[in-house]
Homo-oligomer: A and B are copies of this chain.
Amino acid sequence: MVGGSGTAGPKRKRATIWEVARLAGVSHQTVSRYLKNDGGMKPTTKSKIDRAIAELDYHPNLIARSMRTRRTNRVAIVLPELTNFVPIPMLRGASAAAYEEGFTTDVIGLEGGEGRRAEGVLNLLASGQAEGVLSFTPLGDLGARMKGETAPVIVFGEYDDDMHSRGKLADGRPAEDIVRHLADLGHRRFLHVAGLRGWASADNRRAVYAEAVAKYGLESYGIYDGDWSVRSGYQAARELPADSGVTAVLAANDYVAIGVIRGFQDRGIRVPEDVSVFGWDDEPFGLYLRPTLSTVRSDGEALGRQAMASLLAAIRGERAMQISESKLYELVPRGSSGPPPW
Which residues of A pack against B, CB within 8 Å? 1-9, 11-12, 14, 57, 59-64, 66-67, 72, 77, 81, 83-84, 86, 88-89, 91-92, 95-96, 99, 104-108, 110-111, 120, 123-124, 126-129, 135, 139, 142-143, 146-160, 162-163, 229-231, 234, 255, 258-259, 261-262, 265, 284-285, 287-290, 306-307, 310, 314
Best-surrounded residue of A2, A126, A261 (most CB of chain B within 10 A): A2
Question: Which residues of B sit under 8 angstroms from A7, Cβ to Cβ?
Answer: 147
Q: How far is the CB of A102 from chain B (nearest CB, A)?
A: 11
Closest to A9 in B: B148
Number of copies of this chain in the oligomer? 2
Contact A284-B229, Cβ < 8 Å, known A107-B107, A262-B289: yes
Q: How far is the CB of A269 from chain B (nearest CB, A)?
A: 14
Question: Which residues of B sit under 8 angstroms from A8, Cβ to Cβ?
Answer: 147-148
**Neighbour of A63 across the interface among B72, B110, B163, B288, CB < 8 A:** B72
Best-surrounded residue of A92, A160, A261 (most CB of chain B within 10 A): A92
**Neighbour of A12 across the interface among B2, B110, B148, B314, CB < 8 A:** B148
